[in-house]
Amino acid sequence: MARIVGVDLPKNKRIEIGLTYIYGIGKSKAREILQKIHINPNIKINALNDEQIILIRKTLSEDYQVEGDLKRIESMNIKRLMTIGSYKGRRHRLGLPLRGQRTRTNARTKRGIKKTMAGKKKAPRK
């Protein structure tokens, strides 16, 4: 099992797919990385030798922001929006969708599940 940037990559998957397990790398970036260091994207991860793994680690650390760095930058951007009081920052603070979606219905994942009838009393037991 190859460990790159703190992520254990699955052994029996192709390297092109395995790199997508790293936060910040999708399929197109994985292809771009593999073309840059001249590795066949169809090779399985367990077939990689140590030199190839070191090459992948080196290119990721030099040219790309992934995992912890990317998450930190993302959270700093959200905090900046919240402190300047922009519309998007206020929506983040309230836990509501911020890209113009409707909230009257269909915002369950962002708002959470609420009780439908708030003030209704239960029938007394007999």
Statement: residue 3 has pLDDT above 90: no
State the pLDDT at residue 125: 76
Q: Is the same domain home to 18 and 47?
A: yes
Tens digit of each residue's pLDDT (9 = 90 or more) over 75-93: 999 999 999 999 999 999 9
> Given a cut of 90, is residue 33 above it in pLDDT?
yes
For residues 17 and 39, membership in a common domain is answered with yes
Number of domains in the chain: 2
At 17-29, the pLDDT tens digits run 999 999 999 999 9
State pTM to two decimals: 0.74
Q: Are residues 32 and 46 in the same domain?
A: yes
pLDDT score recorded for residue 29: 94
Domain containing 90 equals 68-110
CATH assignment of the domain containing 103: 4.10.910.10
Q: What is the mean pLDDT of residues 5-15?
A: 90
Same domain? 41 vs 89: no
CATH number for the domain that contains residue 28: 1.10.8.50
Residues 90 and 53 in one domain: no
Q: Give yes or no for residue 116 having a pLDDT over 80.
A: no
Following DSSP, what letter does each residue of the chain receive, concatenated? --EETTEEPPTTSBHHHHGGGSTT--HHHHHHHHHHTT--TTSBGGG--HHHHHHHHHHHHHH---HHHHHHHHHHHHHHHHHHT-HHHHHHHHT---SS--SSSS-HHHH----SSSSPPPPPP-
